């Protein structure tokens, strides 16, 4: 067996923990360090995994010399650390969103491309069991042409520090997943509300048109609760059948249009990995690490993050101008 890939994680927050857990538990990777912004939390996280910690990315890159870097920073502050890794020429994975500003996202993608650098983004909804099953059924032609699609994702939040945080930070998952399953989104029209006083447009709805001719309905909210059943729901209706995805990891249903019986999947009693949203990351790494080691493109390249951000900005433009916006699909 080849030597395990040496991976450094930048970010000591909640999702940074999941990256540290995932890389430290694999046979083909070894976690080498944690880099964070605050000493106490970064030190505690490093001690938890038995690795060194750093408070400076340049210092980490010089001393640790990782083969791969995972950047798990808040979306509004990810540009500078990501660019530091790109300029150092180290292959990397970043958490979504790629950025909040389009010019920053374009710069990151362009600079990585100049270096022919492996640059991936973690749209982990793609790697839920339900999304994997949906992709398999679509690729087999069982769904037919997409006529309409529905995305609903809602949970709660406290005060928010950006007017479009829900759209850019949380619901980029839906924009990416719908395009990956239904094809390019050609146009978008948006309505948003800040009626709950969180300092942001915490609930919004989008009307979508796909390049293939189908339409979509998209609802994202921070004014609901993750305790509710069907906090997350996806329906894709095609000319030959229908797909239903429940709470990302809870259930999957496919039914042919000419059948009165449906095929249903639910996670098995002893399969905790299938029920855990966090394990979507592990399934992504199952595809990402071999691609990196074999010199192939990332399964979800950073360009997909730029695309999701373009769609989000099209939705913002639509809301602010009161008109439908084309997305150059």
Cα atoms found within 13 Å of the Cα of residue 289, Cβ hemisphere only: 21
What residue ranges define each of the domains in the chain, with the CATH number in brackets? 5-117 (3.40.50.720), 125-279+309-326 (3.30.360.10)
Predicted local distance difference test score (pLDDT) of residue 108: 98
CB neighbour class for 1 (10 Å; exposed up to 12, middle 13-18, buried from 19): exposed
Q: Is the pLDDT of residue 1 over 60?
A: no
Q: What is the DSSP letter of 298?
A: P
Q: What is the mean pLDDT of residues 85-109?
A: 98
Q: Considering only CA atoms, which of 315, 79, 326 is closest in space to residue 201?
A: 315
Q: In this predicted model, what pLDDT tens digit does every residue of 268-291 receive, in sequence order?
A: 988 988 889 999 999 999 999 999
How remote is the C-alpha of 113 from its chain's centroid?
Answer: 21
pLDDT band at 243 (very low <50, low <70, confident <90, very high): very high
Q: Is the pLDDT of residue 208 over 70?
A: yes
pLDDT band at 141 (very low <50, low <70, confident <90, very high): very high
Q: Looking at the DSSP assignment, which residues form a beta bridge with residue 5?
A: 29
Q: Considering only CA atoms, which of 173, 171, 176, 177 is closest in space to residue 190?
A: 171
Q: In this predicted model, what pLDDT tens digit does every residue of 150-189 receive, in sequence order?
A: 999 999 999 999 999 999 999 999 999 999 999 999 999 9
């Amino acid at each position: 067996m080849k030597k395990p890939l040496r991976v450094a994680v930048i970010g000591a927050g909640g999702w940074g923990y999941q990256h540290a857990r995932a890389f430290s538990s694999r046979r083909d990777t070894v976690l080498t360090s944690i880099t964070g912004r605050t000493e106490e939390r970064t030190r505690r996280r490093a001690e938890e995994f038995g690795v060194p910690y750093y408070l400076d990315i340049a210092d980490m890159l010089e001393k640790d010399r990782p083969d791969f870097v995972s950047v798990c920073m808040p979306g509004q502050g990810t540009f500078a650390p990501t660019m530091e890794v790109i300029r150092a020429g180290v292959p990397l994975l970043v958490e979504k969103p790629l950025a909040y500003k389009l010019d920053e996202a374009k710069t990151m993608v362009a600079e990585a491309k100049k270096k022919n650098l492996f640059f991936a983004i973690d749209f982990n909804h793609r790697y839920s069991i339900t999304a994997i099953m949906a992709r398999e059924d679509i690729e087999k032609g069982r769904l037919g042409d997409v006529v309409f699609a529905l995305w609903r994702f809602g949970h709660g939040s406290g005060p928010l520090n950006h007017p479009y945080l829900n759209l850019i930070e949380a619901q980029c998952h839906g924009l990416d997943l719908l395009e990956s399953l239904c094809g390019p989104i050609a146009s978008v029209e948006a309505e948003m509300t800040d009626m709950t006083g969180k300092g942001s447009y915490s609930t919004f709805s989008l009307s979508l048109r796909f390049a293939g001719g189908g339409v979509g309905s998209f609802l994202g909210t921070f004014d609901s609760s993750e305790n509710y059943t069907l906090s997350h729901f996806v329906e894709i209706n095609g000319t030959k059948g229908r797909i239903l995805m429940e709470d990302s990891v809870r259930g999957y249903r496919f039914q042919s249009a000419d059948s009165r019986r449906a095929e249903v999947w639910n996670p098995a009693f002893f399969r905790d990995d299938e029920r855990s949203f966090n394990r979507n990351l592990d399934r992504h790494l199952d595809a990402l690490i071999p691609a990196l080691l074999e010199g192939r493109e990332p399964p979800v390249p950073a360009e997909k993050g730029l695309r999701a951000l373009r769609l989000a900005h099209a939705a913002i433009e639509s809301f602010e101008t009161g008109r439908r916006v084309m997305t150059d699909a």
